[in-house]
Chains A and B, each alone.
Chain A
Amino acid sequence: MADTLTDLQHWMHRALLRPEEANPQEVDARLTPHPRLSPSGALAIYQQSYRLRIASCMREQFPALCHALGQDLFDDFAAEYVRDCPPESYTLYDLGRRFAGFLDAQRPDRDSQTREVWVDFVIDLARFERDVFVTFDGPGAEDLPPASPATCDADLRLNPSLRVRAYQFPVAQYYLAVRAKAAPTPPPPAPNHTAIVRQDFGTRIVPLRAGHARFLSVMTECTTVALALAELGPGALTPWHDDPGLKTDWLRAGMFVAADAQT
């Protein structure tokens, strides 16, 4: 078949995304037979590779969710996900970006009055694992001046890697248990606030009180402690105003850096 290169590539890429729709006559018209493999059998190597590669990368990016669902069910979800949201980026690091949103959009109880708790957990865990993955390789504080107990509040800045999140389940504990090979069972709901932060290339999880999470969230927008307090309104105080130990803990977890001399 005298395809243009464009036609051929469009056809072949579609055959990878939707193997069941690849018409055997079209395969035979484009690909040469080999003594040991039919054209469809040869094409199937690429189709299978695509499926296996995506599944394996998704498992690496969502290890706790894979544990929670079991590998077979996880692979099914991952396969459905890439059918719906085929990879667009040149980098596989982008692969899981839309996964939590996809799971939310596809939840089986979408139209029912009551929400299934386990579906909520699956989505919450997917969000958390994406947050961890992105924090690990995104902007960080490794090249910035560290903050110390001697750094005054006016000079505190947030570590650029810091993410302040609210989850409905204790997903961080579940994740850590999976990583420790403790085979945890899905936990009951327990709404919580969590900071995810990277220090010296190690990612840490810091539990937060609701008020502290609010302060840190506002500070990610406003940059400085003073601006965050102004944004929070009259009478607002730092979370550590009556608990200096909290500031020490947060400093130790790498949540702050010191302002550059220029800023």
Chain B
Amino acid sequence: MTTQNGIAALPQLGLGLGLRNVHFEHILTHWPDVDWFEAISENFMDSQGRPRDVIRKVADRYPVVLHGVSLSIGSTDPLDLDYLARLKTLAHEVQPQWVSDHLCWTGVMGLNSHDLLPVPLSDETLAHIVPRIHKVQEVLGRPLILENPSTYVGFKDSTIEEPDFLRALADQTGCGLLLDVNNVYVTCFNADADAMAYLDAFPWDKVVQMHLAGHTDCGTHIIDTHDQPVRPEVWELYATAWQRTGGASTLLEWDGNIPDFDTCHAELLKSRAYMGGAGFQQVLDAAQIAPATGVSNPVSFLVPDVMDAATPADQG
């Protein structure tokens, strides 16, 4: 086993928030009472400026998890060892509780779509991904945690249901799972499948973490936009998932139209109302907000704040 400790040793962190650029100042000033933060690895791993400084400071005070969008574990291109090395360096620096990414591919032919593209769920894909997970775990020296993506297409080559596919990956590699409850809802709606049946089939003993997020209903389909409050239907699934995981670490993702920190935090804390397992009378108002861009975009930039130097503008 390349991973020193299995996923069973990973802690329950409580309720966490995605570490987002627009909140940096607030966090560093107020050190809010949040259980933990999840950072998008790619937003920090190459930074030699403010983002790197911020994540170091945050990691000094809070448990941190690194969540990637570019591992491309399902791609038929070779694994990007340079990327893995940079991820490992960042992990060494901030000592995350774990490192996660998605069951997806992001590109082939040396190109990158910057999207989380689904793979056909088949024995061929399983046989392709299992050794890649082993390799990633060997390089990182820790178990990889993989998330179910939101999907908008189904492949004719798919022969395995997603919960079974994830279970097989976890059984064969020792990797853990990140159950994105909103993605379950989005994927099942788009595939005209039953989200509760998905949960019934899920390998709960492999779940290390859960994601919550808002989505946009486009009528014929749903897009995982992360730009609004969690929808009541997703809270309902979360209540079940909370029970079945026995309280897995929960994280709220908000990536577009990001409100102030306290609003995000209040949205996260709504999850407490769904931990009792009772009915859903408390279903909270989740008025739909107009989507920011209609696209899920987990990698946002800290836009440079440029100043004119106080130097006399003596040109010549």
Contact = CB atoms under 8 A, between A and B. Distances in A.
Interface of A: 1-6, 8-10, 12-13, 16-17, 29-32, 34-37, 39, 41-43, 45-46, 48-50, 52-54, 56-57, 60-61, 63, 86-93, 132-133, 135-140, 142, 172, 175-176, 179, 192-193, 197-198, 201-211, 249-250, 252-253
Given A5-B120, A13-B111, A53-B295, A30 B156 contact: yes
A262 B152 CA distance: 58
Q: Which 6 A-B pairs have the closest CB atoms?
A: A136-B304, A90-B70, A32-B154, A201-B50, A253-B309, A137-B49
13 contacts: A9-B108, A29-B156, A49-B294, A50-B113, A60-B303, A89-B112, A132-B306, A142-B53, A193-B315, A202-B307, A205-B306, A209-B314, A211-B316
B115 to A, nearest CB: 6
A137 B299 CA distance: 15
A204 B295 contact: no
A92 B315 contact: no
B243 interface: no
Contact of A36 (B156, B157, B192, B308): B192
B119 interface: yes
Given A90-B70, A137-B48, A253-B311, A56 B297 contact: yes
Contacts of B105: 9
B151 to A, nearest CB: 9
A197 to B, nearest CB: 8
A63 B112 CA distance: 23
A12 B117 contact: yes
Given A16-B113, A90-B106, A201 B308 contact: no
Interface in B151-189: 152-158
B258 to A, nearest CB: 14
Contact of B114 (A8, A17, A34, A53): A53
A48 B48 CA distance: 32
A253 B113 contact: no
Nearest to A138: B48
Contact of A46 (B47, B117, B119): B117
Contacts of B50: 136-137, 201
Give the contact-size bracket for chain B. Answer: 35 or more
A86 B128 contact: no
A251 B289 CA distance: 48
Contacts of A142: 53
B282 interface: no
A10 B108 contact: yes
A52 B295 contact: yes
B315 A1 contact: no
Interface in B32-70: 42, 45-51, 53, 70
Residue from A5, A36, A48, A206 with most neighbouring chain B CB atoms (10 Å): A5
Nearest to B304: A136
Contacts of A10: 108-109
Chain A interface mostly helix, strand, loop or mixed?
Answer: helix
Nearest to B154: A32
B309 A205 contact: yes
A13 B113 contact: yes
Most buried by B among A35, A41, A90, A206: A90
B308 A46 contact: no
Contacts of B223: 45, 49
B220 interface: yes
Contact of B49 (A35, A37, A54, A201): A201
A172 B259 CA distance: 31
Contacts of B111: 13, 17, 86-88
Given A9-B76, A36-B220, A249 B311 contact: yes
Nearest to A139: B48
B221 A37 contact: yes
Nearest to B75: A9
B195 to A, nearest CB: 15
B302 interface: yes
B312 interface: yes
Interface string B104-143: 0111111111110101100011001000000000000000
A125 to B, nearest CB: 13
